[in-house]
Amino acid sequence: MRLLKLDAHLQQLIEEGVISAGHGRALLAIADGKLRLALAQRAAKGALTVRQIERLASRKARPAGDGSGPQLDANTRAALEELERELATRVTLRPPRGKKAGQLVVEYYDDSHLMGLYDRILRRNN
């Protein structure tokens, strides 16, 4: 079974019914172990559906430079990936255009997810 490729902690969450096998299958597409665990923990709290994990996984699987956004240097890409791992959600960068300011966009899925992001960001700065 493909789910056996998940680490023991995630397998245990599935066996105990904390997350579904569907969550487990969606998590298999996340190569980064830290991000996979963070997403599993959010799913265990009911904050992520299987479909939301699948969307995040498909975005992570997209190669850089596929036309979906600006071309970013390696350091900027690494910084965005670190933010995604830490916040366990998609983070995008929209560079400044003309006189418009650039934007750092952090996705959230519901009010509790937004509050969790708020708490994480403030906790990091204290």
Q: How far apart are CA 62 and CA 7, in angstroms?
A: 24
Q: At what angle do helices 33-44 and 50-61 cross, to 10 degrees?
A: 160
92 φ, ψ (degrees, to nearest 5): -125, 160
Percent of the chain with pLDDT over 90: 23
Q: Where are the alpha helices (DSSP H) in 48-110?
A: 50-61, 74-87
Tell me what pLDDT residue 66 has: 45
- pTM score: 0.58
pLDDT of 67 strictly over 50: no
Convert the pLDDT of each residue in 69-110 to its tens digit. 567 788 988 899 888 888 888 899 988 889 999 999 998 888
For residue 125, pLDDT beyond 80: no
| Amino acid 18: pLDDT | 94
| Beta-bridge partners for 94 | 103
Q: Are 10 and 40 in contact (CB under 8 A)?
A: yes
pLDDT tens track for 17-36: 999 999 999 998 888 888 88
The domain spans of the chain are 2-125
Q: Which CATH architecture has domain 2-125?
A: Orthogonal Bundle (1.10)
Task: Say how far residue 63 (Cα) sits from the centre of its chain.
Answer: 16
Average pLDDT value for residue range 32-55? 87
